[in-house]
Structure 1
Amino acid sequence: MHALQQLWAGRRDLVLIALVMGVLMLLFVPVPSPVLDFLLITNISMALLVLLVTFFIETPLKFSTFPTLLLLSTLFRLALNVSATRLILEGADAGRVIGAIGEFVVGGNYIVGVVVFLILVVVQYVVVTSGAQRVAEVAARFTLDSMPGKQMSIDADMNMGLIDEKEARSRRALVEREANFYGAMDGATKFVKGDAIAGIIIIGVNIVGGLAIGIAQMGLPWADAVQRFTLLTIGDGIVTQIPSLVIAVATGIIITRAAADAQLGTEIPRQMLANPRALLIVGVVLLVAMLLPGFPKLPVIAVLVVLCGLAFLSIRGAEQRGPATRSDAPETERTAGDELRQLLRIEPLELRYGSALAPMLAGPDSDFQDRIATLRKQVLVELGFVAPKLSLSLGADLKGTDYEVYVNGVRTGGGELMHDQVLAINPGGARQPLDGKPTKEPAYGLPAQWIERGMKVQARAAGYTLVEPDTVLVTHLTELLRRQAPELLTRNGVEQMIQRDRERLGPLADEIVPAVMTYSEIQKVLQLLLREQVSIRNLEAILEVLADAGRAIKAPEELAERVRERLGASICQGYRDGDGRLQVLTIAPELERTLLAATRSGDGRSAPFGEAAHFDAFMKNLTDHVEAMMGRSLVPVLLCPSPLRRTLRSVLHRSMPFVAVIGVNEVPADFAVHSFASVQVS
């Protein structure tokens, strides 16, 4: 048995192909009557199975193969008709099933058989099939028309953070499957309708052909030929028409199913018995009918007993649902509490936008979410930090073209986006003024203008750099993510990072937490690194340093300096010029000695430069050199003795956060270092 299951599991496609080819062969290859009996019984069984499956499924999409199955069953019935016709016309013998149906259903009377067959065809063609076809057409049209709205709703839920990207993809796939299913059902109902028409034509052809063979070739009298061939033909028609009617009913059931996630056998009794008054009214009508002269009383009494029993069950059910309904109040309170907690929740990273920006950021044709996904990957590669998901929300109090960025509920940036214009930035060489709205580029504060799209050629010719509004926003978000990375790195995030790399870290992860440091202490060290744009991607090297030094050193600042020395190569790598040299600003020796002395005496943090005039002179000289480096497209880097690094960084982080301060111990020995200029206090 197990071997058969394995064979079936690995050859399902081949078995299906073999079955389809077998059905096609029935159209051309004669089959003996015992085989035909087996196939006819199989046809009836399969039709009943399909009907029962439509009752037990919860939603139509649970039976998404139904349109294909409808086509195959129609082809199978037509092939059986052809095979039965061949046997009837060749030897007036179509097997025991058709003969039994002809004798049992129509009592051996072909006139009755014709009437019964025509009634079945009328029921199937006029009532069931036509109704199912119309419902399928309407369902397909409304499903296709509602697709854009459903997809916009999914995008809106994802933008607001109610669902994640995986859930959004799953819902989009479900919408697409639903549209494909109802579109296929619209066409599949044509098979059922055509099957009914083909049944009538086949019966007529069989009767005419049978009479011709019986009278002309077999020499039978007219009455005997009609009795023999018509009875077999009607039996064949009824045997194949009954499964066809069953399939038509199954088609009507599955196409008229509502979207409730419950079985049809559960939903119909629940809804029919929901109101006992309807049952009682029906009982009253039957009691009145009993008063009519000659009306049979025994069937009415039997139905009244059933109705009274159902009404009793309905009333009992309503009484049992009463406490349950009352008990739903706490559930409602819990739901309201969940909504309040959702309102009180602070998103780690949130973008609020004005109504005019909605199509660009959350519209059906917007690729903004894809660009945000790319941005998160970029930040992950650069800083080794998994940025939180960006939550989008419509700011009711914002101007239509404004946006604001919030980190942990605190506004950290914002600006204005003219969604129907482009931003023209003057890189420094453009002299011709443009007729636009003056503004500043939000990421770097560069002077810019919003201009009409028709002025793009003129602006490019004048030397301006043109940026699309969505690119402006993405660039701004990129810079904000880099600057706000320390605030976005949570304790849970640190734990997830370590757990995610636990297999690669091996014993190191178990060694450091909690024996040497806690997640909170590791978080503080990583935040200090991110504050200076140092990538924490090499988590293994960072944890090795913390494991070695964490027992003796507890100050996060000191530990961060030890980590920087370990990561010196990767830190300096990003500051090298096109020739591979590390261009740096150095500190004049006399100033360096003064600062070191102040640091060793404990005055390094409060007043490392002594007098305020010395600090002003230092900052002016440093500013001049930094501007010179940036003018040559070099990253401004200040190289200093390692004991001074933290002090100088604390001095510069507010006024010149873009200046990188590195210690001598961080520079690898094989790096080519070139002193661009020396900073001094004149």
Structure 2
Amino acid sequence: MEREVILNNVRGLTQGNLGIPLLLLVILGMVTLPMPAFLLDVFFTFNIALSIVVLLVSIYALRPLDFAVFPTILLAATLLRLALNVASTRVVLLFGHEGGDAAGKVIQAFGDVVVGGNYVVGIVVFLILVIINFVVVTKGAGRISEVSARFTLDAMPGKQMAIDADLNAGLINQDEARARRSEVTQEADFYGAMDGASKFVRGDAVAGILILVINLLGGLGIGMVQHGLNFDMALQYYSLLTIGDGLVAQIPSLLLSTAAAVMVTRANSSEAMGTQVFRQMFASPRALSVAAAILFIMGVVPGMPHFAFISLAAAAAGGAWWINREEQRRAEQAAEQAEKAEEEAPAPTEDNRELGWDDVMPVDMIGLEVGYRLIPMVDKMQGGQLLGRIKGVRKKLSQDLGFLVPSVHIRDNLDLLPGAYRITLMGVIAGEAEIYPDRELAINPGQVFGDLNGISVKDPAFGLDAVWIDKSHKEHAQTLGYTVVDASTVVATHINQVLQTHAHELLGHEEVQQLLDLLTKSSPKLVEELVPKKLSISALLKVLQNLLMEQVPLKDFRSIAEALAEAVQRTQDPLALTAAVRVAISRLIVQTINGSEPDLAVITLEPSLEQMLLGSMQQGQGDEGLVLEPGMAERLQRSLAETAQRQEMAGKPSVLLVAAPVRPLMAKFVRYGEHQIHVLSYQEIPENKKVTIVATVGGQNG
């Protein structure tokens, strides 16, 4: 038990649960408590090692986001180094009069060995390091961070829209889009953090100069006043310790500044930085050849150090010769491989390439092809609104129909007219039209009070009379009673109409399984009893397609499944199962047609005609369609159309009420007419609806 507790504590420490609090305690301890010289040596060495590791990780990272925690590490390292400065200052001022290793071996080594024990040289070296760090590296890295952050934030909306466009076009899925959005957000956060982190580095460089001055002046005062040292001795002791302290802090600071500069100047790549540098700088021998010639000319000038220049010129010339030889060798190998492949290649035939399933391109379930003038409409970067409209159409249809409508794959087609578009379902053309993206479409809803100047056409979605007008004439057209929409709305409405009409073709086995999976979460026993024990998915799919074919939504899928579970015990015929489901969800069907109105106006068949159709069904002829002589069928169709038109003018739906056995055939008979007519059976009328007969059709006179 104790061993598990210890392991959990160690695991928590390694995972950072205790690491950050301990780091804060250590920093506070260094700032407030006196530290022995030995611990100062350990922490100064750790600070140098940390800076080296951070610099190497920055160099070996393939892209900035691979080391996204760098700004946090930079802040922690800066705080650690400043805390060390405070701790070492305390030790130097307290024990600096003892000289030598009073502040630890590391500070002594940097004061004696690095600058040779000469405090004047030490001050000069320290100032040079500060200038390099503050003026060159830190200032440049800070400027790059600032510009990168600004440009990254400015480009963020465009990147997000590009991701949405790829998602709507079907080029990526939801998971890929989510990952790319996360990467865009992380990139913006990283460069914003780097912009702030660069200020830490600059502040650290300024703090280094101030700490050096304060330590030197404070040490001289303490040494001369408190410890009785003369000026020369105090200056020697405290200046060397102060300079050693400054150098041991400034060198890690320079390394971290260089790491920050490396991070913000890196470009995203799949190659390590060393590989990139070698490939891009020494890809061609020309640069080395010219450099060798210049170095040689400078080396032979009298008074110049001949050995240094000429030897380096020889090295550059040797490198150029080696790169040139490698290029020739690679070219020869490529030529040999090409000749070998040509010799081994089989004789040309009609098909000498190994085919695979990748060569079989699946057709798009829903496709939209556009001419080149319509490309800006589907490009959000150019202000196109069509992608958003199509997404809204899919969302609304999915909610109305009760299943997820597949995405629309959009591509350009140079074979189309510049302003034309084409809607395809399973690769088959389901609708096409030509539009004018720089105009707006004024649609005649049936009653207008004047004519418009423009290009007269038919509305692609509903076939109404319409005129393409200039955008400046929109208000005038609306005052005349026209409905005015832009080009994106025209295409989106056409897609909506096509998808509604062909909704049954969009539903497949995969979508049915998704519906069953959703129902399993709330009614697992119902699904277990129904599929596949009593009804196969294929049979269920056929019933659902029958419902969608007559504009019946699948939103109440639970009631549909319950009705099937009961009816499947009596029959397996899809038409009979569909009829049973329609009766079970009759309230939803009638509400979809007539809303919440208490009265339902219906059209009925002439009793003699209905009896004749019933007789045909009983004789087994129903599967062949309606048994009507051509003249009677024409009169019936004409009278139904006239009655439906009157209902439309009155703002009411057209409902044909027939006997249950006849309903599927009459629904098929009126399906492709000019007017939408809903066909209901007597059993599908809810009890709370009052039926009013507005017309009877099918008699000898219509």
Contact 1:143 1:179 in 2 (8 A): yes
> Residues of 1 paired with 2:643 and 2:306: CA distance?
116
Residue correspondence of structure 1 range 56-205 to structure 2 within 5 A:
56-89=60-93, 91-92=95-96, 95-96=103-104, 97-125=106-134, 128-129=137-138, 132-133=141-142, 136=145, 143=152, 150=159, 153-186=162-195, 188-205=197-214
Amino acid at match of 2:631: A
Shift of 1:574: 1.5
Verify: 1:225 aligned to 2:234, yes or no: yes
Contact 1:422 1:467 in 2 (8 A): yes
| Greater CA drift, 210-219 or 528-537 | 210-219
Amino acid at match of 1:221: N
Shift of 1:355: 2.5
Shift of 1:159: 4.3
Amino acid at match of 2:9: L
Residue of structure 2 equivalent to 1:361: 378
Verify: 1:386 aligned to 2:390, yes or no: no
> Residues of 1 paired with 2:473 and 2:54: CA distance?
65
SS of equivalent to 2:429: strand
Contact 2:546 2:578 in 1 (8 A): yes
Residue of structure 1 equivalent to 2:560: 542
Residue of structure 1 equivalent to 2:258: 249
> Residues of 1 paired with 2:278 and 2:458: CA distance?
67
**Cα–Cα, structure 1 residues 366 and 508, in superposed 2: closer, same or farther, change >3 Å?**
same
Contact 2:103 2:241 in 1 (8 A): no
Verify: 1:238 aligned to 2:243, yes or no: no
What do the CA deviations read for 1:553-598 (whole angstroms, capped 9, x no partner)? 4443333223222222221221235533332222232332232223
Residue correspondence of structure 1 range 452-471 to structure 2 within 5 A:
452-471=470-489
What do the CA deviations read for 1:615-638 (whole angstroms, capped 9, x no partner)? 233223322321222122211111
Q: How high is the sequence identity, in percent, across the aligned residues?
A: 38
46, 53, 58: which one pairs with 1:54?
Answer: 58
> Residues of 1 paired with 2:194 and 2:642: CA distance?
75
> Residues of 1 paired with 2:625 and 2:279: CA distance?
82
| Greater CA drift, 33-42 or 66-75 | 33-42
> Residues of 2 paired with 1:668 and 1:386: CA distance?
29
Amino acid at match of 1:81: N
Contact 1:599 1:608 in 2 (8 A): no
Contact 1:577 1:634 in 2 (8 A): no
Contact 1:20 1:72 in 2 (8 A): no
SS of equivalent to 2:597: coil
Residue of structure 2 equivalent to 1:631: 649
> Residues of 2 paired with 1:227 and 1:659: CA distance?
106
Shift of 1:347: 0.4
Amino acid at match of 2:166: D
**Cα–Cα, structure 1 residues 359 and 457, in superposed 2: closer, same or farther, change >3 Å?**
same
662, 672, 675: which one pairs with 2:690?
Answer: 672
Say what the alpha-carbon RMSD is for the aligned residues: 4.8
Residue of structure 1 equivalent to 2:501: 483
> Residues of 1 paired with 2:10 and 2:455: CA distance?
73
**Cα–Cα, structure 1 residues 225 and 335, in superposed 2: closer, same or farther, change >3 Å?**
farther
Shift of 1:396: 1.3
Residue of structure 2 equivalent to 1:289: none
Amino acid at match of 2:219: G
Residue of structure 1 equivalent to 2:364: 347
Residue correspondence of structure 1 range 194-593 to structure 2 within 5 A:
194-215=203-224, 218-261=227-270, 341=359, 344-364=361-381, 365-550=383-568, 553-593=571-611
> Residues of 1 paired with 2:352 and 2:229: CA distance?
84
> Residues of 2 paired with 1:585 and 1:9: CA distance?
79
Amino acid at match of 1:224: M
Q: State the number of aligned residues.
A: 669
SS of equivalent to 2:656: strand
SS of equivalent to 2:436: coil
Amino acid at match of 1:67: P
Amino acid at match of 1:355: Y
| Greater CA drift, 348-357 or 607-616 | 607-616
Contact 1:423 1:450 in 2 (8 A): yes
Shift of 1:404: 1.2
Contact 1:384 1:537 in 2 (8 A): yes
Amino acid at match of 1:363: K
Verify: 1:653 aligned to 2:695, yes or no: no
Residue of structure 2 equivalent to 1:286: none
Contact 2:92 2:103 in 1 (8 A): no
**Cα–Cα, structure 1 residues 294 and 435, in superposed 2: closer, same or farther, change >3 Å?**
closer
> Residues of 2 paired with 1:474 and 1:17: CA distance?
57
Contact 2:385 2:488 in 1 (8 A): no
**Cα–Cα, structure 1 residues 448 and 276, in superposed 2: closer, same or farther, change >3 Å?**
closer
Amino acid at match of 2:365: P
Unaligned runs of 5+ in 2: 1-5, 292-304, 343-350
SS of equivalent to 2:645: helix
> Residues of 1 paired with 2:218 and 2:49: CA distance?
30
Amino acid at match of 2:244: G
Shift of 1:645: 0.3
| Greater CA drift, 430-439 or 362-371 | 362-371
Verify: 1:598 aligned to 2:616, yes or no: yes
| Greater CA drift, 392-401 or 403-412 | 392-401
**Cα–Cα, structure 1 residues 295 and 451, in superposed 2: closer, same or farther, change >3 Å?**
closer
Contact 2:598 2:688 in 1 (8 A): no
Contact 1:546 1:563 in 2 (8 A): yes
What do the CA deviations read for 1:264-318 (whole angstroms, capped 9, x no partner)? 5787799999999999xx9xxxxxxxxxx9989xxx9xx9xxx9xx99xx99x99
Contact 2:397 2:405 in 1 (8 A): yes
Contact 1:438 1:447 in 2 (8 A): yes
SS of equivalent to 1:533: coil
Contact 1:117 1:237 in 2 (8 A): yes
What do the CA deviations read for 1:314-366 (whole angstroms, capped 9, x no partner)? 99x999x99xx99999xxx9999789737x33101011122332223222244
SS of equivalent to 1:536: coil
> Residues of 2 paired with 1:421 and 1:167: CA distance?
36
Shift of 1:141: 6.7
**Cα–Cα, structure 1 residues 336 and 125, in superposed 2: closer, same or farther, change >3 Å?**
farther
Contact 1:575 1:582 in 2 (8 A): no
**Cα–Cα, structure 1 residues 527 and 3, in superposed 2: closer, same or farther, change >3 Å?**
same
**Cα–Cα, structure 1 residues 537 and 509, in superposed 2: closer, same or farther, change >3 Å?**
same
> Residues of 2 paired with 1:202 and 1:608: CA distance?
101
Amino acid at match of 2:503: A
**Superposition TM-score, scaled by structure 2 size:** 0.80
Shift of 1:613: 2.8
Shift of 1:10: 10
Shift of 1:390: 0.6
Contact 2:142 2:199 in 1 (8 A): yes
SS of equivalent to 1:574: helix
